[in-house]
Amino acid sequence: MNFTHTEDRRMLADTLDRYLADQYPIDTRHAIVASGRGHSPTHWQTLAELGTLAALFDETHGGYGGTGFDLAVVFEALGRGLVIEPVLHSAVLAGSALAHAGNADQLALLGRIMDGSLIATLSHEEPTSHYALQRVGTQARREGDHYVIDGHKAVVGHADQAGLLIVSARTDGALDDADGLSLFLVEAGTPGLSLQAYNNIDGTRAAEVQLSAVRVPATALLGAEGRALATLEHAIGRGVLALCAESLGAMEVVKQQTIEYLQTRKQFGKVIGSFQALQHRMASLLIEIEQARSAVINAAGALDADRLSRERALSAAKYSIGRIGTLVAEECIQLHGGIGMTWELPMPHYAKRLVMINHQLGDDDHHLARFIALGSSH
């Protein structure tokens, strides 16, 4: 397999890196977080115009990429820039679900997602789901030409800014059944839909979503009734890869910042990077980060493989990224000393994002258990 990036991918990565370095410094990010919106409409539109969102879709859906390596290149750049715009939730999670299961009318929404005029989000996780895709308690029942949905969704990314929510609900079966899950397109402002929005610890935006007798037309059903698990696995698998690549980009930045600090900070008349104990700790981190890079490359290469190979590679990568990302966050802050915890330094903001990524779409414990379970079922 050829792991060399195409010229288009390299150009996109270079363009994104330059734009984010010039226009998205840490102070700009702080201002966006403080605004309470969770994203900047100006930067969001620029990312769309640069082709960032279209690169996450294949040509059949109007994009120009869509492969695992396209996702990896885009999200590694977003990780380096510590970007909090809703690329993951709108273009990857919601967009992938639409692309996988949508009919002609529903697929028409992808153009608006790619040009940034529509923010969508996948409203799937629940307070008691514990990352299990099939554990859905939200109920949807058919009433004539409509479905009525009742339930509670947790930590739904950018839900308060989304014009469209893709909601998972059980139309049949028990809580943990693989069959009986369905997806519905629910427009923002639909009666019975209420949100409680908040900032996560890393500054990203999320909301608790309550659905109380939410009525949607039968045409809002995405894909076949009761057969949504495959679509969820497809969309969330792509989201896992995106998160892994984002974490890798963030790790690279904090690694470089830490190396520069060790080469300039003096103690006892010497730069602290000359102390052997600190050199050993930094060398260990460099090896771990390279291991993380290998896991991301492996997952990106397996994204279009058979289901078992794909899911094992994704869980292996997410486990590695969760463990290594947390280690990098903790070690780099410790190597900085007390200054590593100050608000003014970008370091703690990267560290919080690295820790948060571990808990999104399954933490390291979940994916280690899942990797083992997938192996035993082979």
Q: Which ranges of the chain have pLDDT less than 50?
A: none
d(C-alpha 334, C-alpha 348), whole Å: 11
Q: Which residues have a Cβ under 8 Å from the Cβ of 48 and sit 6 or more positions away?
A: 54, 114, 115, 116
pLDDT at 340 (0 to 100): 78
Residue that finishes a domain, picked among 210, 226, 242: 226
Q: For position 47, which CATH number holds?
A: 1.10.540.10
Residues 214 and 321 in one domain: no
Q: Which residues have a Cβ under 8 Å from the Cβ of 185 and sit 6 or more positions away?
A: 106, 164, 165, 166, 167, 216, 220, 222
d(C-alpha 118, C-alpha 306), whole Å: 32
pLDDT at 2 (0 to 100): 55
pLDDT at 110 (0 to 100): 98
pLDDT at 1 (0 to 100): 53
Whether 2 is covered by a domain: the verdict is: no
Residue that finishes a domain, picked among 83, 98, 114: 114
d(C-alpha 327, C-alpha 336), whole Å: 14
* Number of domains the chain is built from: 3
Residue that finishes a domain, picked among 205, 226, 247: 226
Phi and psi based region of residue 186 (left: phi greater than 0; alpha: psi -120 to 50; beta: remaining):
beta
Query: What are the angstrom distances between the C-alpha of 215 and each of 122, 139, 161, 194, 264?
Result: 18, 12, 21, 13, 61
The pTM (predicted TM-score) of the whole model is 0.95
Residues 19 and 104 in one domain: yes
Whether 257 is covered by a domain: the verdict is: yes
Q: What angle do CA 175, 179, 185 make, to 5 degrees?
A: 85
pLDDT at 349 (0 to 100): 95
Alpha-carbon dihedral 80, 156, 92, 364, rounded to 10 degrees: 60
**Secondary structure in 3-state letters for 41-91:** HHHHHHHHHCCCCHHHCCHHHCCCCCCHHHHHHHHHHHHHCCCCCCHHHHH
Residues 246 and 144 in one domain: no
Handedness of CA 223, 225, 227, 228 (dihedral sign): positive
Q: For position 235, which CATH number holds?
A: 1.20.140.10
Whether 178 is covered by a domain: the verdict is: yes
**Residue 13 CB neighbours (<10 A):** 19
pLDDT at 262 (0 to 100): 82
pLDDT at 4 (0 to 100): 66
Q: In which domain, by residue range, is 142 found?
A: 120-226
Phi, psi of 17 (to 5 degrees): -60, -45
Residue among 90, 71, 100 nearest 231 (CA): 100
Residues 325 and 242 in one domain: yes
